[in-house]
Chain A
Amino acid sequence: MDHLRSLEAQSVFILREAYAKLGRLGLLWSIGKDSTVLLWLAKKAFFGHCPFPFIHVDTGHKIQDMIAYRDRVAAELGLELIVHRNEVALAGGMGPDRGRLACCGALKTEALAEMTRKHGFEGLIVGVRRDEEGSRSKERVFSERDGDDGWDYANQPPELWGQFKTDFPKGHHIRVHPLLEWSELDIWRYIEAEGIPVIGLYFSRDGERYRSLGCAPCTGRIRSGAMTVREIVAELEVTRTRERAGRAQDQEDAYAMQKLRRDGYM
């Protein structure tokens, strides 16, 4: 089996394990390329069905095209979509001007925690990858979060032979990471091979494109002429710039992402 087929088979195996072993399950769909690949893999795993809802944590600061695209795709595919916002923080005027980490903490981490508890999720499927940044590189496929959504990263359980963490106290939940082993280039090659539709923001307009999608104030575009998936693959095959270089919250301090993720950030 070639590399992409074996990644696909492994992700499908993980999705099926999550569905078989965890209680209420949801898939975090950020509208970006990774979670869109996840959506595609879920369709494959369950033979055209999606036996769990899709969740969008809406910070209220997302790039506008993302919201329109989200609603259109959800309607087209008939997805059960849960949109959640931290309304209290937004009403209080929370935004990146209050400090980027505080903003991510309130509008993403807290919003996610509220949503998890409101719907009683036992498993959240998240499209993070090891090659994105350091603390994600150390993740487990099934990663436990305690009652406060905290991640005990210094004491992770053993994970071997496809036997994942599926026993945990009530009130905890599991972050399921089916794309952990994929690289950014794998994702784009797979999108190309499968012909998966992705949002237009990734393609070049006026010599610039988004490489990673997030909130409008904190996400920058890169210089690129790539107008098609094939051109993106070609660009990534030679680039040595990091994927999340355009994501401001990562650059706040050396361990910004580790700190955010310890408290429950995706």
Chain B
Amino acid sequence: MADEGRQTLRLVVTGHVDHGKSTVIGRLLHDTGSLPEGAVERIRRVSAETGQPFELAFLLDAFEEERRQGITIDTTQLQFRTARRDYVIIDAPGHKQFLKNMISGASGAEAAFLVVDARRGVEEQSRRHAHMLALLGIGQVGLLVNKMDLVGYDRAAFEAISREMGLFLGSLGLRAGASVPLSALEGENVLRPSPRMPWHKGPSLVAALDGLEKDREEEGLRLPIQDVYKFDDRRILAGRVEAGRVKAGDRVLISPGGKETRVASLAAWLPGDQRDRAGTGESVGLMVEDEFFNRRGEVVSGPDDPPAVADRLKASIFWMGRRPLETGRRYRLRLATSEAEATVEEIGGLMDSSSLAPIPARGRVGPDEVAEVEIALDRKIALDPFSRHKATGRFVLVDGFDVAGGGIVTAALGEAAEGRGFAHGRLRARCEVFEEYYYSLGDLSVRKAGDGRRPFTVGDPVPLRGQSYGFPESFDIAVFRDLVAVLIRGGQVAALVPLADYVYGGLPVVNGRGFGLLVNSPEEWARARADLSAMTPENEARLARRWLDFNAFRHIPIGLADFDI
């Protein structure tokens, strides 16, 4: 094939309305000779026919309404190439009203350019788009400061915007790529450095494009089953390899069923397509040795690296629906090829997606707002935290007929993810009191060792001494997230009571993670309870310093090596 081995990178161009996204792309296509013959003349003719000034943006803004109003309504994409590689460039609308179209475009990208108008500076959608890029998992964001002609190619104007946006991108956990001053209208610093900006030592637009890096492929097989075909005597599990690799002979686990089997072979129509292995991105058909009942929605993985299986999850979500998201209402969650009925049980960390200003909790998430939520499903599905696997760590929420929200999984909840909790009657308390924690030097974070089992219930003995903790024979556990207190007496679970009914009786009290509470009287308990029940990401550090003693019953060793698990 002519272009074998050439890389293709998918890039989205985002930013506030009117900051010149479509013009930047139009200029890029024009100056690199990527436009078909007559395209510019056609635009001139349309402009003349409709009495509008000529705009390069019309190359992308094909709809009559877009040209009449001079804004991009819907996303589109174009192919374009440089000496280094091929590009698919996605144009995303910048008007607040069309955020869902921006998301549709940006969700398919590997990297992004954020366009900011040099004269008007960072505006509402500049920040909102940056926030959406972070939620969509696009790590690499370059900054284009456009319309430099309008500020006389002023270095200070460029640097101020560059600094402001760099800080904002950093606060979202995004990697700020190159920062490029340019004028798309005049074609300055597009293909080559501009003599009007001799102070700019960084790259031109095209050089910045070529400087972007492609995402690394994820390790660890994830193959969500799309369908099971029995058109002939073969039984084929069809799906796309979303991460990792698979080959004939591999042992695999199919979740959430939890059945283990071996890949017998890969199916193909043409003899020339017959392979014994497949990598990330390939659409394949697997034939497995054991014929369990399999169905769409299950996930094939390696047996030692399975996805979580959970019916509860924590997620960061964004909402696009006209009708707000509300707690208690039923939605349909679609994650890779699996689906489940979903209810949002808790909404926290609600904020405006542009200013990042917190919004007081109010049991609903409005259009263009983002939130941290806890979602309960009507059945268990296979999923991963987004930080581990993108394709099985993100989902959409369907309200009625419409995809109305999207989200990324921050944690799978339930026994396996939460540690060994407590259950009695209808009371449940999630907790990690008897879990071993360690400090991981690899990623400088505190992690939990081992995984959970069936929850403890009344009468069960509990392991009072671990390698990273030790508790007295009798103490109380206050689980604020579930509003339940667990009473441990003589090394056994004595009772679970609603937190509202719990009476402080002078025994040591720990929270759900096993950290001591600095409480010595019923009055202090009442104050601690009020404070810790109202913990938010903003006050959590202050309240933790006020009420928690991390070292009372626990210490956090370095590394996993000490543990015997």
Contact = CB atoms under 8 A, between A and B. Distances in A.
A135 B403 contact: no
A28 B98 CA distance: 31
B403 A159 contact: yes
Which 3 A/B pairs are nearest by Cβ-Cβ distance? A134-B62, A160-B107, A240-B37
Contacts of B50: 254
9 contacts: A1-B279, A1-B281, A47-B285, A49-B231, A130-B77, A138-B76, A157-B100, A158-B103, A161-B394
B79 A131 contact: yes
Given A47-B285, A161-B396, A16 B226 contact: yes
Contacts of B296: 20
A260 interface: no
B268 to A, nearest CB: 7
Chain B, interface residues (CB within 8 Å), range: 35 or more
Chain A, interface residues (CB within 8 Å), range: 35 or more
A47 B401 contact: no
B403 A254 contact: no
A158 B77 CA distance: 15
A189 B77 CA distance: 20
B305 interface: no
Nearest to B74: A138
Nearest to A44: B269
A255 interface: yes
Contacts of A5: 282
Contacts of B396: 158, 160-161, 163
B515 to A, nearest CB: 37
Contacts of A1: 279-282
A46 interface: yes
Interface of A: 1-6, 8-10, 12-13, 16-17, 19-20, 43-49, 51, 130-131, 133-135, 137-138, 140, 153-154, 156-163, 165, 167-169, 181, 183, 189, 192-193, 233, 237, 239-242, 245, 254-255, 258
B101 to A, nearest CB: 7
Contact of A158 (B6, B267, B320, B336): B320
Contact of B8 (A3, A138, A153): A3
A134 B63 contact: yes
Interface string B14-44: 0000000000000000000101111100000
B5 interface: yes
A233 B2 contact: yes
A181 B107 contact: no
B355 interface: no
B282 A51 contact: no
Nearest to B61: A134
Contacts of B285: 47
Nearest to A6: B281
Given A130-B78, A233-B2, 9 more contacts: A2-B1, A10-B283, A13-B240, A20-B227, A45-B238, A137-B77, A153-B63, A161-B406, A240-B36
Nearest to B228: A20
B14 to A, nearest CB: 14
B41 to A, nearest CB: 11
B104 A3 contact: no
B232 interface: yes
Contacts of A168: 401
Contact of A2 (B3, B62, B268, B320): B3
A49 B231 CA distance: 7
B88 interface: yes
Contact of B403 (A13, A44, A157, A169): A157
B36 A137 contact: no
B400 A254 contact: no
Contacts of B5: 2
Contacts of B140: none
Given A47-B229, A47-B269, A138-B76, A161 B107 contact: yes
